Amino acid sequence: MSADTPLVRLTGVGKNYGNVIALRDVDLRVDAGRVTCVLGDNGAGKSTLIKIIAGLHRHDAGSYEVEGRQVAFDSPREALDRGIATVYQDLAVVPLMPVWRNFFLGSEKRRGFGRLDVEYMRRTTKAELARMGIDLRDVDQPVGTLSGGERQCVAIARAVHFGAKVLVLDEPTAALGVKQAGVVLRYIVQAREQGLGVVFITHNPHHAYPVGDRFLILNRGRSIGHHTKDQITRDQLISLMAGGAELEQLAHELETIAAGRTAARELTEETDTKPPPP
């Protein structure tokens, strides 16, 4: 693979569910050491795009390349074997299990007679979290006792440890407060600095712009913008994301309605104050 070959490239990708067009003619590029942000409102097609990248659904049109080779995954396991790890919003963690058990869930380390190598998994979990800059008090504490931001960061560190080259994050900051969202954004930058290609799915341009290198904006399954950071400002990104033309039209309609109400109120007041005829 040459240095300029992207880790993931989608070209003209489309997906239909019966008569419903979920995606049409969408391009996406993910490079090592770069964060690609995919923005869009509800129903924009972000979830469908995630499922295609993660191997959950096959695309109906266009091409999907991983490290320069066309692929058509039949399962998320195939995508994971090619280094594409997806961290969904619900995280798929077991709240009552300790952090280290969740870290190795499904990939447990064993030694003689099939016994779990608990000490190795504890030690490795603590070391990997520390390498990502995550300092937990105790990896034996239930993962459900962690904050939302900390749980997201454990999931990110787990994907990095198990060999992810591309990290797909599904709305990782959606249900978090300002402080916890900032924690997650810092770990996204940390993953980028370690050379991963990150796909950051979000509906919040204020979270996307500080960490993003490339931005794809979706609206009703279509791409309405694809820009690098030097091509777009934060305000332009917000305008595209919010539908600038639609907002201007709405503002004009609201001004017209307000003007009509004001005129009706003035007419009513004038009628009420007019003296009765003799």
| Beta pairing, strands 35-39 & 214-219 | parallel
Query: At 167, is the pLDDT very low, low, confident or very high (cuts 50, 70, 90)?
Result: very high
- Mean pLDDT (the chain) is 86
Average the pLDDT over 155-169 and give the result: 89
pLDDT value at residue 244: 52
Please check the confidence at residue 166 and state whether its pLDDT lies above 60: yes
Q: Tell me the one-letter amino acid at 131.
A: R
Query: At 94, is the pLDDT very low, low, confident or very high (cuts 50, 70, 90)?
Result: confident
Contacts of 120 (CB under 8 A, 6+ apart): 109, 111
Please check the confidence at residue 247 and state whether its pLDDT lies above 60: no
% of the chain residues with pLDDT over 70:
89
| Per-residue pLDDT tens over the stretch 36-82 | 999 988 888 898 999 999 999 999 999 999 998 999 898 988 999 99
69-70-75 Cα angle (round to 5): 115
Burial class (CB in 10 A: 0-12, 13-18, 19+), 155: buried
Contacts of 44 (CB under 8 A, 6+ apart): 218, 219, 220, 221
Average the pLDDT over 223-249 and give the result: 79
Give the predicted TM-score (pTM) of the model.
Answer: 0.81
